[in-house]
């Protein structure tokens, strides 16, 4: 690998990391149809964990 191709490779890696960082910083990770009233109620009650009543591995 020559010096110029190594510099190009490093520049490509840096550009990829920069674009990935900007994309992640600008992304909204909330589901598109989150029921905001329910989320606010959960935050208001400071719920720790939410369990369902499914009985897994019960025969």
User: At 2, phi and psi to the nearest 5?
Assistant: -80, 170
pTM, two decimal places: 0.48
pLDDT value of position 7: 94
In this model, does residue 34 exceed pLDDT 90?
A: no
In this model, does residue 58 exceed pLDDT 70?
A: no
- Residue 51 included in any domain: no
> Under 8 Å CB-to-CB from 21, ≥6 apart: which residues?
none
- Residue 35 included in any domain: yes
**Structural domains counted in the chain:** 1
Q: Is 47 exposed, middle or buried (0-12, 13-18, 19+ CB in 10 A)?
A: exposed
> Under 8 Å CB-to-CB from 43, ≥6 apart: which residues?
none
- Residue 21 included in any domain: yes
């Amino acid at each position: 690998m020559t010096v110029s191709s190594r510099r190009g490779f490093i520049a490509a890696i840096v550009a990829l990391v920069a674009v990935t960082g900007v994309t992640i910083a600008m992304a909204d990770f909330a589901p598109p149809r989150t029921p905001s009233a329910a989320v606010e109620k959960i935050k208001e009650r400071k719920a720790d964990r939410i369990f369902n009543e499914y009985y897994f591995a019960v025969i």
